[in-house]
Structure 1
């Protein structure tokens, strides 16, 4: 398993992120925005389950928020992996 991490750390993508002035910052900003999508969606659904917005049907609220949370999770994992391999 260590060989995989060494290969990722020495890859061209990791090297480019280390050498780029704005590359690491852009990936970091993308990671933070993705976490915002993920946690924003989850918090909204949790608040509805706790009793806020009782006039809104849970299914109507969950229909757009669950895919948004899934996209946020996928982007956060991908960008987090990129941040991890640069170190």
Structure 2
């Protein structure tokens, strides 16, 4: 199915119609903001710790505490984002910043999954021998999530 056809079907769906009526859209927007805070705050703190800041906090413990918040934030973002997209899918999917945002979100999720697969069991030794690729992934995570958030906010203004 062509992207334009899929976008039109999403707008015409019950979800799209519900999002355009009453208070569903503002509620989803607030949930999206909450999800953004729950994702980006913990991810940035964890990534900064991976980059060497806050060495007084044990990295495995920081990861154990912050990761569930980030996962909950991502889930909330994806659910609320689907509703927000359904309200105006055709114009949103045609917007270059929306495409950039979706690409950065996909990158952020893939980067996080790859990071967990590669480094999860090596966090205890991170400060003595930080892997260059692991640190590059942490930096890419910071830039990617900030970029996704910025692109999402700028859609309304550009």
State whether TM-score is above 0.5. Answer: yes
Distance in 2 separating the partners of 1:29 and 1:75: 11
Unaligned runs of 5+ in 1: none
Q: Deviations over 1:1-40 (max 9, x none)?
A: 34433222112221122111x2111100111110111110
1:52-67 matches, within 5 Å, as: 52-67=53-68
* Aligned partner (choices 3, 10, 13) of residue 11 of structure 1: 13
Distance in 1 separating the partners of 2:38 and 2:80: 14
Higher relative contact order (CA 8 A, sep 6+): 1
Q: Deviations over 1:35-81 (max 9, x none)?
A: 11111011111221233321211000101211221221121122112
- 1:74 maps to 75
Distance in 1 separating the partners of 2:47 and 2:7: 37
Q: Aligned residues, how many?
A: 86
Distance in 2 separating the partners of 1:4 and 1:49: 40
Normalized against structure 2, the TM-score is what?
0.50
Distance in 2 separating the partners of 1:68 and 1:39: 9
Distance in 2 separating the partners of 1:12 and 1:65: 35
Q: Is the 8 A contact 2:39 2:70 kept in 1?
A: yes
- 1:35 maps to 36
